Amino acid sequence: MRVVVIGGSGHIGTYLVPRLAAKGHEVVNVTRGKSRPYAPHAAWNGVKQVIADREEEERRGVFGKRVRDIGAEVVIDLICFEPESAREIVENLHGRVQQLLICCTVWVHGHSVEVPTVESAPRRPFGDYGVKKAHIESYILQEARRRGFAAAVLHPGHIVGPGWPPVNPAGNVNPKVFETLAHGRELAIPNLGLETVHHVHADDVAQAFIGAMDNWAAAAGESFHVVSERALTLRGYAEAVSSWFGKEPRLKFLPWEEWKKTASVEDAEATWDHIAHSPCVSIEKAKRSLGYRPRYSSLEAIRESVDWLIASGAITV
């Protein structure tokens, strides 16, 4: 089949495009052309690159038509961040493709109530990113069920892998947190360190998209969480990272109002976003319907990212 991947040069696409090529699909990557995959792979030599500035073309109302005219059977949209973008894609692709898959986020749930959170849990999103993604999910699933459109939505957690820093045990993406733990220095953590983060390796997200294609009838009109088997508490996460470097964790727990004074504004905002959401979600639906089996635990996936941080010189240990 011809498969269009919108935004295929990023984290997920680095692994998804080679997986699609290995299954014999003709892959077309729609990209701004400003980034390269995070890991080299021979499969990219056979991928057609379509250079397009999505924001600019959406303003002119031509992006959806451009994607439609490629003539794909399946379209995978990894960078749909605006409800208007979802509407343009659906209006142009309805009746023209066999399947549309949209990448969303576990943050559509807002704060956790019962954990692990299941896909049918009420949506109470907050923050611009989560609210917009929840609107996108609602619209896509409504269109799928109302119009018989074979569309589905996948919700990754905190995506990790070599090439970019992971959400760390302080709940932000400052790589120096790992350096602090590696050297056995004291790390301040907000509250009691019992808030959660739920990571997933980018290759496991790619696996889930392949599963949604292979099980298109089960996927149609549904949403699926795509994360590792288990979430991590910030405290447990910090203790595990310390152990990687043979150190005893030296952790200091501070009330939020005190902790945020120890961090930059940027890091404090990121931490608040992560601990306020504290995702811990179930993957039983994806296992049952898509055959999803994550290869990486949260810590295994994070370890790959930390090893890259060390090898690239971003941190010293």
Q: Residue by residue, what is the 3-state secondary structure of 196-260?
A: EECEEEHHHHHHHHHHHHHCHHHHCCCEEEECCCCCEEHHHHHHHHHHHCCCCCCEEEECHHHHH
State the pLDDT confidence band at 137, using cuts at 50, 70 and 90: very high
Domain boundaries 161-197+231-279+296-311, corresponding CATH code: 3.90.25
CATH superfamily, domain 2-159+199-226, is NAD(P)-binding Rossmann-like Domain (3.40.50.720)
Task: Summarize pLDDT for 204-220 with one digit per residue, the tens.
Answer: 999 999 999 999 999 99
Mean pLDDT over 304-313 rounds to: 97
State the pLDDT confidence band at 151, using cuts at 50, 70 and 90: very high
Six token digits for residue 298? 């949260």
Contact 16, 76 (CB under 8 A): yes
Domains in the chain: boundaries: 2-159+199-226, 161-197+231-279+296-311
Six token digits for residue 234? 């910030």
More confident residue, 35 or 62: 62
pLDDT score for 33: 86
Q: Which residues have CB under 8 Å from 79's CB, separation 6+?
A: 6, 7, 10, 54, 103
Q: For the chain, percent helix, then strand, then coil, each to nearest 5?
A: 45, 20, 40
d(Cα 182, Cα 299) in Å, to the nearest integer? 15
8-state DSSP, 129: H
For residue 92, is pLDDT > 90?
Answer: yes
For residue 195, is pLDDT > 90?
Answer: yes
More confident residue, 147 or 178: 178
- Looking at the whole model, is its pTM more than 0.95? yes
Window from 33-37, 235-239, 246-250 with minimum mean pLDDT: 33-37
pLDDT score for 317: 94
pLDDT score for 315: 97
Mean pLDDT over 270-284 rounds to: 98
For residue 285, is pLDDT > 90?
Answer: yes
Contact 231, 112 (CB under 8 A): no
Phi, psi of 48 (to 5 degrees): -80, 130
DSSP E strands in the chain: the ranges are 2-6, 26-31, 48-51, 74-77, 99-103, 151-156, 158-160, 187-190, 196-197, 199-201, 223-226, 232-233, 251-254
